[in-house]
Amino acid sequence: MLIDIVHDTPEINRLADMLVEYNATLVANALTVDADAIGVGDDFGTQRALMMAPAVWRRFFKPRYRALLEPAVRAGKAIFFHSCGCIGPLLEDLAEIGARAIWPQLSLFDTRELARCCRQLGLAVQIHPDRGDLMQRGTPAQIRDAVLRLIDDFATQDGGSWLYLEIDPGFPWPNVQALFETAIQLRRQGERP
């Protein structure tokens, strides 16, 4: 499939257009019921880099996403984009096609730099502690420290980011407790006058 995308074959273009057409009905349905936001996502990165050259992504995917999301953008709906992997080179493109919030794989970024870049682009960031190594093999103290560092790096109290919690199979219970207790503590601190 990736080879077909690089070579821009008619078959892969036909398939991609069919997927856009199908997903456009989902966007239209969401607009019909006056949804607040539209969520989309594709994993475009590996643990080290994009799966393809940025120019290939911009030629093949960007116009399709722009066409898919344009009705929602025109309707003033927020666009939320999820992508795992190293997607740093695409952040500006995501903002250009209408994304206003992203859910990146934070463990692959310098989070202070990501926060700076996203603020500049007007992209809010869903802060999600690393579900792989940290939540499965870290200690409760490491989890607490990591969450507090992310909240600080993204200056969550100033807006533009939020903490997202999720439990996966394999998380030791003390780590789950540490994650939620830290979030509850942060919430209480934020509610003080």
pLDDT band at 189 (very low <50, low <70, confident <90, very high): confident
- Average confidence score pLDDT of the chain: 95
| Location of each CATH 3.20.20.210 domain in the chain | 2-127
Q: What is the pLDDT of residue 190?
A: 73
Interval 82-92: pLDDT, tens: 999 999 999 99
pLDDT digits (tens, 9 = 90+) for 96-154: 999 999 999 999 999 999 999 999 999 999 999 998 899 999 999 999 999 999 999 99
Tell me the CATH number of domain 2-127, given options 3.40.190.10, 3.20.20.210, 3.40.50.970, 1.10.3470.10.
3.20.20.210
Residue 172 to residue 193: CA distance in whole angstroms:
35
168 Cβ neighbours under 8 A, 6+ residues apart: 131, 135, 136
Q: Given the structure tokens 């080179």, which residue do they identify?
A: 89
- Global pTM exceeds 0.75: yes
SS3 40: strand
